[in-house]
Amino acid sequence: MRRTLPPLDSLWAFHLVSETGSLTAAAQALGVTQPAVSKRLRDLEALLGTALLRRGANAISLTAPGQRYAAAIAPGFAQLQAATQALRAQAAPLRIRAYTTWALRWLIPRLADFRRQHPGIEVEVSTSTAVVDLAREGVDAAISTAPCGRPPAPAARRLQPVVVAPFATPTLAAAWAGGERRLIGSKVRAADWPRWQAANALPPAQPLLYESTTLAIQAALEGLGVVICTPAFVVAEVAAGRLAGLPGQPLVTGDCYWLSLPGGRVSPPLATFADWLERQAVL
């Protein structure tokens, strides 16, 4: 049996006119002129052999057959739009926002493993310490810190607790016992040094605070002081002998890293990434 369909551009023009009730609005949505829309509609009516629109001096309306036809084709266009959006979501990279140091020293070194496991999903990382509005900023998910018992968003998943400890070059680490203590940290986590000193029964000392933990770690590598940070951030430097841990117990801060997800159903690629991230966080 021969199967024929009207041209898709004519059907789409009719669908937009039926939704908006306006030739002008349909023309703007299509990026064409109003006469071009009118021609598509007349061609469609000629092909179907029935009038779909009533054309007045300053307004248009659907005829009874036009109303029935518009209602019948609308679900098909909705399905096409949903399928297109889902395909684009899978093809587009995941946009992940995180703190600079966590992204640089924890997430990015692990992304090669994610790519090996899921080669069809690209991850794009941006950094900020500001609170992220996922919908407004076009970000798929964000990693931030918040108290372990208080998620920063309704759809947030808890990753790992924030634990900090002091590290220094071997030279400065050896001088620590003699009382030479040049402390450095970050403005983002200014309370870590005072809390660690109190927890380890040490007298308070004022640290020099850098804009980020990344800068503070680099300063420590240059021998400028003793940095307090998450041990996972300096694993490679400790293994290479460039930094050494200092005596004392690590401080469990009571904060956790959280992955904030959009409310409602997340896309399959984002769900895959979230599951992978949770597994990595407990390794």
Q: Which two tokens stand for residue 47?
A: 């092909």
Residue 160 makes CB contacts below 8 A (sequence gap 6+) with: 256, 257, 281, 282
Helix, strand, coil % (nearest 5) of the chain? 50, 20, 30
Percent of the chain at pLDDT > 70 equals 96
Task: Provide long-range contacts, Cβ within 8 A and 24+ apart, for 240-244.
Answer: 241/170, 242/169, 243/167, 243/168, 243/169, 244/167, 244/168, 244/169, 244/170, 244/173
- The reported pLDDT for the residue numbered 1 is 47
**pLDDT tens sequence across 74-114:** 998 888 877 766 666 566 799 999 999 999 999 999 999 99
Any idea which fold 93-283 has?
A: D-Maltodextrin-Binding Protein; domain 2 (3.40.190)
pLDDT of 92 reads 79
CATH topology of domain 8-91: Arc Repressor Mutant, subunit A (1.10.10)
User: Rounded to the nearest 10 degrees, what angle do helices 34-48 and 8-20 cross at?
Assistant: 110
> What are the structural domain ranges in the chain?
8-91, 93-283
Q: Tell me the residue ranges of DSSP E strands in 84-155.
A: 94-98, 123-127, 141-147
How far is 235 from 240, CA to CA, in rounded Å? 9
**What's the whole-model pTM score?**
0.67
Stretch 264-268: mean pLDDT: 85
